[in-house]
């Protein structure tokens, strides 16, 4: 039996989506612009894309690059960020470098990278890697810096070496912050995935989108936007599930601490 409040909470996202589509539909009907299809037209185009083998291969290729880029970025950035957070020397060395790279749109580096590495998977994966790395490094850095000194002292008293403390105390203690960075990284991976395919058109979800744009197939363009958006929501939901499981300990199960002394 679901309470009315619980029902409202569950229905809210669905209602928001329906509301957005309704506004889109109304705006499109009012504007009567060829390049702005109605929501219904766009949704109708989705099965055609997902039913087409070629398109599916493209989308899966995109996701594969994204997974590889994201995976490499996370496995490099977390150790680097943690080291920076615990060592002044490492932080002093990498901080200026990262500060220079952070504000540069990674897509802006793409033409140069394409000159070096071609238009293939390596270039696109590298751009995704760059996009994901910085927020993950930054959050790992902040998380590691915030680890309570006395927690490390407690570990040292138990006989943990500095390396063991980094892996067995700093890493788990900073995990909530690291995963916040990874979540931002995941969204950025999706964005850089599409932009990289916009610049180096060869395959992928971005390729379908921009080819359709060139050919004036606006219903396909908008259908792809919906598909990419849906992919983002699904990935985020999966990630959130994993995150909640990993850092269960950092969120209270009870509103109030048990009274006991």
Partner 1 sequence: MKVVPSRSSEWVRPVTPQKPASAIIEIESVSQVFQTSARKDHVALSDISLAIDEGAFVSILGPSGCGKSTLLYVVGGFVSPTSGSAKIRGRTIMGPGPDRGPVFQEFALFPWKTVLGNVMYGPRQQGVRTTEAEAQSRALIEMVGLKGYENFYPKELSGGMKQRVALARTLAYHPEVLLMDEPFGALDAHTRTRLQNDLLNIWERDRKTVLFVTHSVDEAVFLSDKVVMMSKSPGRIREVIDIDLPRPRRRSELLLDPRYQKYVVDIERMFDETDPVGSPS
Residues at the site binding partner 1, with contacts judged by CB under 8 A: 148, 150-151, 153-154, 156-160, 169, 172-173, 175, 247-254, 257-261
Can you say how many angstroms the Cα of residue 261 is from the centroid of all Cα atoms in its chain? 44
Residue 158: Cβ-neighbour burial (10 angstroms; 0-12, 13-18, 19+): exposed
Closest approach, Cβ 149 to partner 1, in A, equals: 8
Can you say how many angstroms the Cα of residue 249 is from the centroid of all Cα atoms in its chain? 23
CA distance 126 to 62: 13
In the bound state with partner 1, the residue whose beta carbon lies nearer, of 33 and 154, is: 154
User: Residues in the chain, how many?
Assistant: 261
Closest approach, Cβ 248 to partner 1, in A, equals: 8
In the bound state with partner 1, the residue whose beta carbon lies nearer, of 34 and 251, is: 251
Task: Give residue for tokens 């992919």.
Answer: 231
CA distance 207 to 165: 46
CA distance 80 to 133: 10
> Cβ contacts of residue 208 below 8 Å, gap of 6+?
49, 55, 58, 59, 220, 224
Closest approach, Cβ 247 to partner 1, in A, equals: 8
In the bound state with partner 1, the residue whose beta carbon lies nearer, of 53 and 150, is: 150
In the bound state with partner 1, the residue whose beta carbon lies nearer, of 158 and 233, is: 158
CA distance 82 to 152: 14
Closest approach, Cβ 175 to partner 1, in A, equals: 7
In the bound state with partner 1, the residue whose beta carbon lies nearer, of 102 and 249, is: 249
Q: Which two tokens stand for residue 136?
A: 């993950």
In the bound state with partner 1, the residue whose beta carbon lies nearer, of 88 and 248, is: 248
Closest approach, Cβ 140 to partner 1, in A, equals: 16
Closest approach, Cβ 159 to partner 1, in A, equals: 5
């Amino acid at each position: 039996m679901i309470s009315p409040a619980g029902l409202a909470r569950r229905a809210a996202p669905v209602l928001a989506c329906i509301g957005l589509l309704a506004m889109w539909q109304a705006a499109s009907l009012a504007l009567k612009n060829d390049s702005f299809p109605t929501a219904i037209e766009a949704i109708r185009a989705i099965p055609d894309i997902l039913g087409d083998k070629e398109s599916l291969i493209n989308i899966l290729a995109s996701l594969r690059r994204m997974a590889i880029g994201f995976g490499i970025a996370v496995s490099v950035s977390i150790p680097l960020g943690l080291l920076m957070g615990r060592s002044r020397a490492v932080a002093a060395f990498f901080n200026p470098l990262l500060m220079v790279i952070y504000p540069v749109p990674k897509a802006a580096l793409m033409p140069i990278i394409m000159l070096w590495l071609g238009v293939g998977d390596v270039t696109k994966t590298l751009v995704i890697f760059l996009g994901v790395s910085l927020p993950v490094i930054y959050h790992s850095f902040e998380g590691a810096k915030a680890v309570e000194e006395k927690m490390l002292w407690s570990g040292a008293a138990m006989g943990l070496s500095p390396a063991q403390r980094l892996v067995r105390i700093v890493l788990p203690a900073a995990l909530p912050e690291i995963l916040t960075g990874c979540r931002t990284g995941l969204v950025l991976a999706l964005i850089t995935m599409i932009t990289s395919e916009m610049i180096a058109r060869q395959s992928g979800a971005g390729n379908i989108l921009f080819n359709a744009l060139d050919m004036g197939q606006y219903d396909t363009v908008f259908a792809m936007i919906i598909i990419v958006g849906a992919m983002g929501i699904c990935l985020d939901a999966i990630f959130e599930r994993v995150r909640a499981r990993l850092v269960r300990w950092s969120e209270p199960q009870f509103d109030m601490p048990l009274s006991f002394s």
